[in-house]
Amino acid sequence: MTAGYGDRARPVETVQRAIAVLHELAASPVDLGHKEIASRTGINGSTVSRLLSTLVGDELVSRDDATGYFRLGPRLVELGNAALARVDIRELCRPHLEALTAATGETATLSVPYREGTITVDFVQSPSSVRSVAEVGRPSIAHATATGKVFLACTGSAAPTVLAPYTDRTITDHGELEAQIREIRRRGWAQAVGERELGLNAIACPVLSPAGLRAIIGIQGPAQRFGPKAMRSAASMLRDHCLAMSHPSTGAATAHG
């Protein structure tokens, strides 16, 4: 879609409703019944039933025969992989991910801006048997991940009104989060120490373009191996790689103040 196309074209209401149904299914950690989907989307129940029938027919949505509840379907994986294949940033960053994993022994990830945060689009897995497992399509959490904090620092986006605790290390105070954001802007990289998952540490750094944030490269690993000293050592290397991928006019791979 070209820039501004959505502003010029008249939206199709049926398509908008189908998209709303897909978003609700994506946001839910459990399968949903059609009445619950109707309630959450504000769409008439009979319309939701017809939409679900159509989406199930093309495997964009799956229906559990035992419960009658719905979840996202396998066809979306195919479509998502086709879309990711066209994300040229992955080709650009892949050698850097491989180099970072080879140098650190930890999992390197690539995320791109997506809606109100970022989403993982590629990774190189650590060769260690004890390792952090990345997942394509996994969204960041703004206040509880290194990638999410870089997004806040680079875009100036507002943090969630409520900073939900994922572990006892998660930042839940807005003042503390703002202090970290200022530090990220100063030094150019972020860290998360057991804040989304206990025992998982991560660092992240932005890849910038003249238009702003283009991507975020992260390194993550188990706390017993990827501790403060290892994270600081890896951060210098990570910034060098992100600088190499950033537009020369940005000067350095740091966030806009």
If you average pLDDT over residues 33-51, what whole number do you get? 93
Which is more confident, 219 or 79? Answer: 219
Task: Give the percent of the chain with pLDDT over 70.
Answer: 89
- 129-146 pLDDT, tens digit per residue, is 877 778 888 889 999 999
Amino acid 82: pLDDT: 66
With both helix axes pointing from N to C terminus, report the angle between 88-104 and 228-245 in degrees, rounded to the nearest 10: 150
**Half-sphere CA count of 117, side-chain side, radius 13 A:** 17
pTM greater than the 0.75 cutoff: no
Amino acid 216: pLDDT: 96
Q: 213 pairs with which residues across the strands?
A: 208
Helices (H), the chain: 5-8, 13-27, 34-41, 45-57, 75-84, 88-104, 146-155, 174-187, 228-245
Check pLDDT > 90 for residue 234. Answer: yes
**Half-sphere CA count of 210, side-chain side, radius 13 A:** 2
If you average pLDDT over residues 90-109, what whole number do you get? 94
- 146-193 pLDDT, tens digit per residue, is 999 999 999 999 999 999 999 999 999 999 999 999 999 999 999 999
The Cα–Cα gap between 218 and 120 comes to 10
Domains and CATH numbers, the chain: 5-79 (1.10.10.10), 88-250 (3.30.450.40)
The Cα–Cα gap between 14 and 20 comes to 10
Residue 251's pLDDT band (boundaries 50, 70, 90)? Answer: very low
- 54-95 pLDDT, tens digit per residue, is 999 989 999 999 999 999 998 887 787 667 655 678 888 999
Q: Which long-range contacts (CB under 8 A, 24 or more apart) does 168-173 make?
A: 168/198, 169/193, 169/194, 169/195, 169/198, 170/143, 170/144, 170/195, 170/196, 171/143, 171/144, 171/195
If you average pLDDT over residues 192-221, what whole number do you get? 93
Amino acid 257: pLDDT: 33
